[in-house]
Structure 1
């Protein structure tokens, strides 16, 4: 149980939702695939997160002391062995899949996905590079969709609106770094988002947070996306609200709350995109199952219990402070 908490197993919901929707969007039933896809994405989620836990043990001792305590309960040697074993298992599975399925384009996507997974925390260590971390995080959320799509589909037919998730993650991904400034500084790293947010120019931050909605509007205007995707613009006020939350958070627990609610916003936005990509009752049911898992795992299987009343109070306090000051 503790290993699942340390391994942030809740993120399986992101990957499974994208993978299943892609299969459905190519005209095939994703339900028979669940027997394979659920364990696959759970294992891959643990591989990503446990590798990150071990690689970040120095920074976490400063930034994430509560997570460090859980990691120490499991043992960092155990985490290291599990991370290596799970990464090897995923790669071996992809190789076996290629031997059986014989689709080079699918294997290429799977291989890129594995390389991003491994090199995010170790190897090339994308997370230690300003642009590298953004590319890796964006790829983490789009590659599961491509893995599902390439089982039956062609790369040229990938729906362009899914790219809006890349821009969305790019616009908000750096918020996760607002709690890690001190520990990251020990590594000589300062994230792009923290740099932008710390500057006095609010216009740059607002432009960054508004970029996914400008991108969506552009796709629709040029006929590259159906008009129904304009529904995503309804999320724009929430994105812009994060500008106030990030700049108004003062205490460490407030910054932790903002980071946590950013993940929930990512998840809700992704569910919105996926439902618009394939708006059917069956897909809505599969996504509903992913939502249920996300909520339960956040409450029961995450190293920091989320969706708490005190986090809502933190958000209210920050907003009150910001609006009074203005």
Structure 2
């Protein structure tokens, strides 16, 4: 049986979905979380990047040395948060015959992955178009979705947004809400954050923090099933991407896979082969698009079946 070493985040159990596909295709999978959850999960915001890298590289080397298996046919690293050249080179030298693949689902600037390590991989993918231009060995590949059988729910909202506070999200939403009100749309907007971050933002008068309605702030994360329920009850899902990110978030991919329409600040989506203005509206200068009514009433959808997790894993793993 062929062996794969998979190193990736634990986020939302996506690792289990990928492992399931690999095992169903005849591979024995050894899994290592890419992130030292015990030390970094609660303290990362207080640490310098150099200290984070030191902790991370010590962590991954220790995890590799714990492995009893000394032979892998393939090694897949997804994200590799704050990994440096020395650690990737250590893995490559330890498993000299393994075909090494990297997939970045964060912009390189955010993942803090050492770009000097890129040539050590046999194949590199990224969800971020900007990184694919910057690094010539990167092949563009959006994220994936899992085909799920869900209950059809009655539509309650024209628009919905559920997401955590980051960058300019509150500012953009604060400017969109009056426009939605003026057109008489129904909407459900929930923004999650922690109290310290929220009240510090209000105190320092960060853009949008004082203007955004308090009753739309939630100080505890919303369960994934509840988020999915709200999306199923919505015609159009709002997406506000990080300004440093040109790649499509996994939520965007999931929304489109459920044949919902999308309203996004991510202008780069216009370059994707599946872009359709009747399905995907672009927020520019914090203004609703001119065809917003068409977006709400359209029954069109886009086919992104190539990104279903089975197809996605087979491409990344080359199986």
Give the TM-score normalised by structure 2. Answer: 0.29
More strand per residue:
2
More helix per residue:
1
Computing the radius of gyration from Cα coordinates, the structure with the larger value is 2
Give the TM-score normalised by structure 1. Answer: 0.29
